[in-house]
Structure 1
């Protein structure tokens, strides 16, 4: 970790040659990695097999419980923090592209340095805290003809080990819990090939509005509703499929996040991580109610088409959704 080199990378942020580039993504990657200890990634053969076994078991159990067919991504990586930053630079760049294309801004040099520093700080913070990730490739370029999109399943090994130690929980059990959660997301997107396109359209609508200096409330509300369904269904599958009680893991992890200090709490709020927790809780309550009444397979009907997604009102009134989708 080298903070001086990180600051120097941000200060030297450059544009696209015509002075319009509002973020220097090469400098973002350089600064984020220089501000982040990559962490150790020496894995014995037994530990690599542990990750592979956790993923295989999660796929089998989630297929059985959810009665959904899906495959895990071909790309499954056990990463250090720098690997995760490299993998996500492209995602951040895709998401910010509509805003960047807005064109000239006042004081472009200063704006570029501030934006580059902000993005580097966000990626560094997330790189130190993300445990696992399923990458649905939102806003990615379509694959070439005859090729398939390469979704990824990532596990940030140094963070998993560090958090297991901090929480004083069994590391293999904690690692397995993370694997089940991320494979739950793979199950959703695998069972609903339309889901990525649906989320992309709402993201594009919202981002285009921001690029024009407007806030498309409906687009972001629809996106929040869809993501609440995504997070809630994953919680349902986790609850029904994980082969151990995990309430203590959730409670300890939540307590750690709440006691992360004022800076950490502020950053989580700015990054919307508190919103994600609310999505977990609200979505999980909806799907638990549906599953208790009609079974997990009935809850899985949400992925048959975008028309089956719950509305914002239905998330708080599961019976409305049941009556509409499974009368």
Structure 2
């Protein structure tokens, strides 16, 4: 249960020297491993059976995603790694993605603000930031059931991608076991249910090969904006890290990570607290965040629609899993809910709800084939305003057709 090791930063900066990041990524990964809570007790035989079951479920999910979405990209999908991992490996893999995503931003900052960048890359500063980053990843690593990471295919700090062209799908064994035991559901059904969501993300990026670069560009613009207007680089680094990999920001699946309270429905400005992203400076930054939020709402909502489309002929205990999984989210401790709010995970869960309502409404109006034009080009993606008013997106698509 291992993934590629994090690479030592080596991207060339403006001076021609290797670019040193303001985060010691290797130290962040080691910190996360040291702080990660122990998972549920399993024997070696149980762990092996769980890993084999998850791999089988990941394979079995793809034909169902193909049937439910109608996306040809799902037919015989073999574009990316499927990794069955433990908690420290998930954290280590995410440091790779963060490093790849933030590399262009850091190179730009070294060129435009060299004195401040040099101060931000002193060893004591990079270790301090990595320590905090490691703590966040350690906490998240016990919550995430699975994650499709398209950004592992981007060039890493050494110029080489961390994974194959299609990215990688990670299934976190101890968390799947823990949640399944807590809600007392059938092991095989629960594995397939989780994998349906994650494989849908994989299919989305296969159906829209431009999507990874598009999302990377938006995230680079947003993180760059956060740094450009900062009085000091370290004070914005936490916000940039929280922004950099939205697909890694929460657990996967219906209701996982939910917090109490409904989200207002009167438009993009009515988002819940954005946690570490609350320091956005101006309209340009907010517009970038709005575009990223719209894309993530689309991706998460679409994956949840696929999960909800299966019936008992595919997942025999699906109704029980849905009910108990949702109820589990209501039993979180006050401390757990507070941490989620600080990290902006209430905003993440709003993306699931808003996106699912959008996809349901569009499919109801123009069918799945009509909805699927969203994967054809960046200009066909919904805006955040359209996520909250699906009829406006449908009207725009009809007019453009």
Coarse TM-score class (shorter-chain normalised): 0.7 to 0.9
| Secondary structure of 1:326's aligned partner | helix
Q: 1:137 aligns with which of 141, 151, 157?
A: 151
TM-superposition CA deviations, 1:281-311 (whole Å, max 9, x none) = 1111111011122222222221111111112
Which 10-residue stretch deviates more, 29-38 or 194-203? 29-38
Q: Cα distance, 1:60 vs. partner?
A: 0.7
Which 10-residue stretch deviates more, 176-185 or 245-254? 245-254
Q: Distance in 2 between matches of 1:185 and 1:320?
A: 25
TM-superposition CA deviations, 1:32-73 (whole Å, max 9, x none) = 101124645845676555323322321111112211022244
CA contact (8 A) 1:41 1:157 kept: no
Q: Cα distance, 1:96 vs. partner?
A: 4.3
CA contact (8 A) 1:38 1:82 kept: no
2:278 alignment partner in structure 1: none
Q: 2:292 aligns with which of 202, 212, 223?
A: 223
1:212 alignment partner in structure 2: 228
Q: 1:81 aligns with which of 78, 83, 87?
A: 87
TM-superposition CA deviations, 1:85-132 (whole Å, max 9, x none) = 222121122344435856044895664443122101111011111111
Q: 2:206 aligns with which of 172, 181, 190?
A: 190
TM-score (structure 2 length as normaliser): 0.69
CA RMSD of aligned residues (A): 3.0
TM-superposition CA deviations, 1:191-233 (whole Å, max 9, x none) = 1111111111110110111111254111111111111111111
CA contact (8 A) 2:152 2:167 kept: no
2:70 alignment partner in structure 1: 67
CA contact (8 A) 2:87 2:174 kept: yes
CA contact (8 A) 1:95 1:139 kept: no
2:382 alignment partner in structure 1: 310
2:97 alignment partner in structure 1: 91
CA contact (8 A) 2:80 2:164 kept: no
Q: Distance in 2 between matches of 1:225 and 1:240?
A: 22
| Secondary structure of 2:22's aligned partner | coil
Q: Summarize the Cα distance change of 1:325–1:105 in structure 2 as closer, same or farther, 3 Å threshold.
A: same
Q: Does 1:249 align with 2:321?
A: yes
Q: Distance in 2 between matches of 1:152 and 1:106?
A: 31
Q: Distance in 2 between matches of 1:49 and 1:106?
A: 44
2:30 alignment partner in structure 1: 30
2:338 alignment partner in structure 1: 266
Which 10-residue stretch deviates more, 105-114 or 161-170? 105-114
Q: Does 1:118 align with 2:190?
A: no
CA contact (8 A) 2:28 2:131 kept: yes
Q: Summarize the Cα distance change of 1:322–1:75 in structure 2 as closer, same or farther, 3 Å threshold.
A: same
1:233 alignment partner in structure 2: 302
1:52 alignment partner in structure 2: 55
Q: Does 1:287 align with 2:369?
A: no
Q: Distance in 1 between matches of 2:292 and 2:152?
A: 13
Q: Distance in 2 between matches of 1:46 and 1:168?
A: 18
CA contact (8 A) 1:78 1:157 kept: yes
1:4 alignment partner in structure 2: none
Q: Distance in 2 between matches of 1:48 and 1:291?
A: 35
Q: Distance in 2 between matches of 1:308 and 1:23?
A: 36
CA contact (8 A) 2:148 2:169 kept: yes
1:319 alignment partner in structure 2: 391
Q: Summarize the Cα distance change of 1:262–1:296 in structure 2 as closer, same or farther, 3 Å threshold.
A: same
TM-score (structure 1 length as normaliser): 0.83
CA contact (8 A) 1:62 1:184 kept: yes
Q: Distance in 2 between matches of 1:241 and 1:254?
A: 17
